[in-house]
Amino acid sequence: MIVPLLVLGVVVVLIAVRQVGSLRLQIWQVMALGAAGMLLTRSIGPLHALDAIDIDVMLFLFGMFVLGRAMEESGALADLSYRLFSRARSVDGLVLLILFGAGGASALLMNDTLAIVGVPVVVGLARAHRVTPRLTLIALAFAVTAGSVISPIGNPQNLLVALGSEEDGNPFVTFARWLALPTLGALLLSFVALRIAYRGEFHGDALVHERDQIRDASLARISMVALGVLVALIAARIVLVSVGSEIDLRLTVIALVPAAIVLAGSPRRISLARGIDWPTLAFFAALFIVVEAVDDAGVTAEVVTRLGDRVTSTPWVLAASAAGSQLVSNVPLVALYLPAIDHAAGDVEAYMALVAGSTLAGNLTLIGAASNVIIIDNAERRFGERVSFWEFTRVGLPLGIAQLLLTWALLALTRALP
């Protein structure tokens, strides 16, 4: 048990600091080093490591990244953004549309996808309407975090929970029943927090919008068809499970069919495939190996023994997942915590608390979610717009605590309803 824990400890520290001397490490590189460490120390065998990689998750992420890339490259995303944000006549309206627009989209396209493609949109909006890009960037981060809570495909950690319990029912319905109100409440609290923290930016001038041109009309049409198919497949899954059909429309199929439409229909298929977020896929492959090695060492069983009933207690799950996500980010945290709930035979509320706590953890600090890092890194590297750790935390920490407390209350209300 000692060696896997030592390797995990090194991974945790490196993810937190992400730098060794002058060497800047990316999260996927740290996790890959952790997986290599588990293999080199024989904490897990090569064949067992390969078997530990969840192919469903890998295929789902690949499919969503292909669709997101096609929408960004074609200009379809920018066109959709204009249609949404041109309705804003004030800064208040603009921020609300960022929160609910990006939040709603992240429930379908995964928050990391929106984090990648949303940065140029919100930076452009800020510059066009004379507000600091820090406001719109942090609004985007809060939106994709809070908005993704409601959906089993809203973020990677939700997907881990959904794929692990697909046989128990329809994850879309289960997530909506338990997490619709917490999601709505979290988005509204985000607006209040931004309105207070950046009150000087909310000027009263009317906003004037300009429309960007579609860069690749053919690819834009294909990607919009693929997006429509994605929405239709999600609706079909909800209906099939609701009527008790034996047809199994898996989440991987829901993601891969739209991706296949894009790759088969566009002559740019090779460049699109090359341009997707391969490092994130490498991160997840390594993550599964590290978590499996830790679980094989008996760490999960030991945690369950020591925590007893607290391991599935809603306030404990919310607090532990939110705090733990600041150290190892929310996806590794969920991968480690899930077996503990399984061992303790936790009910659906425990899983939903894990989803909410680990996701809303992203609003507490910059390192609480990979989507935060994606947004801030892209904004600084591509546009020279910097958001410091402390600026994010001064707004996010009180907001995140308020969101977690509200979620606790709303989960208790849902439990009490018939």
Q: Between helices 314-328 and 389-416, what is the axis angle to 10°?
A: 160
Work out the average pLDDT over 56-74: 87
Name residue 170's beta-bridge partners.
none
Domain residue limits at 310 = 2-416
Alpha carbon of 183 to those of 161, 243, 304: distances in Å? 17, 26, 29
Count Cβ neighbours within 10 Å for each residue of 231-245 and write b for 16 or more, e otherwise.
eebbeebbeebeeee
Name residue 19's beta-bridge partners.
24
C-alpha 330/C-alpha 158 separation (Å) is: 10
Work out the average pLDDT over 356-366: 93
Question: pLDDT tens across 379-416, in order?
Answer: 887 788 888 888 999 999 999 999 999 999 999 999 98
Cβ neighbours of residue 248 closer than 8 Å, sequence gap 6 or more = none
C-alpha 83/C-alpha 227 separation (Å) is: 16
pLDDT band at 170 (very low <50, low <70, confident <90, very high): confident
C-alpha 65/C-alpha 67 separation (Å) is: 5
Work out the average pLDDT over 256-285: 91
Q: Is there a contact between 356 and 149 (Cβ–Cβ < 8 Å)?
A: yes
Question: pLDDT tens across 291-315, in order?
Answer: 888 878 877 666 666 767 788 899 9
User: Which is more confident, 235 or 184?
Assistant: 184
Query: What does the pLDDT read at residue 236?
Result: 87
Cβ neighbours of residue 1 closer than 8 Å, sequence gap 6 or more = 297, 298, 299, 302
The mean-pLDDT minimum among 5-9, 10-14, 93-97, 258-262 falls in: 10-14
pLDDT band at 329 (very low <50, low <70, confident <90, very high): low
> Is residue 218 over pLDDT 60?
yes
Q: Is there a contact between 373 and 330 (Cβ–Cβ < 8 Å)?
A: no
> Is residue 261 over pLDDT 80?
yes
Two tokens, residue 333: 């945290």
Domain count along the chain: 1
Query: What does the pLDDT read at residue 169?
Result: 67
User: Which is more confident, 343 or 264?
Assistant: 264
Query: What does the pLDDT read at residue 115?
Result: 85
Question: pLDDT tens across 14-60, in order?
Answer: 876 767 778 878 778 888 999 999 999 999 999 999 998 988 888 98
Query: What does the pLDDT read at residue 12?
Result: 76
Reduce the DSSP state of residue 243 to 3 states and report it. coil
Work out the average pLDDT over 330-337: 79
Alpha carbon of 11 to those of 25, 74, 360: distances in Å? 11, 38, 22
Ramachandran assignment for 389, one of left (phi > 0), alpha (psi -120 to 50 degrees), beta (any other): alpha
Query: What does the pLDDT read at residue 167?
Result: 47
For residue 19, which phi and psi values (nearest 5 degrees)? -155, 135
Ramachandran assignment for 42, one of left (phi > 0), alpha (psi -120 to 50 degrees), beta (any other): left
